[in-house]
Amino acid sequence: MLYIYSPILRTSTTACSSMEKQVHFIHFLFALFCFSYIMFSAYNPLALVVAEGLVSGHHDNGSVKLFVFGDSYADTGNWEKFAASWKEPYGFTFPGKPAGRFSDGRVLTDYIASFLGITSPVPYTWRKTAEKSGLQFGMNFAFGGTGVFDTFINAPNMAAQIDFFQQLLEEKVYTKQDLNSSIVLVSLAGNDYTTYIQRKGNFQDLPAFTTSLINQLSANLKRIHGFGVRKIAVTALQPLGCLPILTAFSSYQNCSESWNTASKFHNQKLQQAIQRMNSESGKHMYETLDLYTAFMSKLNTARLAGNSKLRSFLMPCCVGVTSNHSCGNVDKNGGKTYVVCEKPELSVFWDMVHPAQNGWHQVYSSLKSSLHRLY
């Protein structure tokens, strides 16, 4: 994992200068690019592992289906077996071995499925090997590392994922009746922003990029709705500045206020778009899942509990032993070049950018009271 400790990158209560912000974004881009390269670089493939879904049965409804689009915060196994999500120690907590999730256990998709009272939907790339009965709960099209637009990860962007969905509809895998009782989850975790900075390197134009991103996302959501789905839930951006890949710059003491401001601006634009589309449709078809508030609520609790609790909140559980390694890396002899914390069940973050199962459980607990709007 890459650690860069720079005074410029420490959180400040005063506004950053334009130059400081540019340096901040460039450092973040470089760190996240290196992390993504490591996460998706070639490894020896593992045997197929089918992960059991989490079903609580709180809202048992055998007819409901969940269709998922997005990135690693929702991906439950679409990547091929060379990805880090299929390498130890991913899956450490659940199901006890790598299962294609970018976490030690369950991710957001699993908890939303749990709320709906169904098994987590089968990943799209497993559709041909899954039993027909396994398709009854919907399908997950999300690929880790992707975004609304193309990213530096070679995987289907959101439009391509929707194409896959449309093809299945044309093949009558799912019927109009299926869609009438379906719910869609759309996940965005910030990959578009990292790619934008890499390609453009222009912080001043970021608000304009956010506008274009939300416009394209809106078009994607309308396209999904046009197929006849009943409800679409899209995630707001989490506080990007609190990801360990950024808090490492302050020894996991502080979040980056400039990145959190970028998250809040994105979320404001997203909420405006959601309100506009609901008004145009005359129905409450679209919902926002407020990951930002869910994470910050946990962070504020940690702050009140004291600095040691805050540091514990911002630190990842699984890290590389040096700056050249990351969670899941091994040396040429197969030796582990990473360490895992003693109590993953208490960690909010698993690696440098992904929540741990406990983190997702905390988010779900915060969101749960508002999830009734999905019905």
Q: Which of the residues are catalytic?
A: 72, 351, 354
Token pair of 251 as six digits = 């020894």
Q: d(Cα 90, Cα 350) in Å, to the nearest integer? A: 9
Q: d(Cα 82, Cα 103) in Å, to the nearest integer? A: 16
Contact predicate 194/33, CB 8 Å: yes
- 215 contacts: CB under 8 Å, gap ≥ 6: 273
User: Which stretches of the chain are DSSP H helices?
Assistant: 18-40, 108-116, 158-170, 176-180, 191-200, 206-226, 244-247, 257-281, 291-305, 307-314, 357-367
Distance from CA of residue 345 to its chain's centroid?
Answer: 19
In a 13 Å sphere around the CA of 228, the CA atoms on its Cβ side amount to 11
Token pair of 100 as six digits = 């294609």
Phi-psi region of 76 (alpha: psi -120 to 50; beta: other; left: phi over 0): alpha
Please provide the size of the chain in residues: 375
Token pair of 312 as six digits = 């514990």
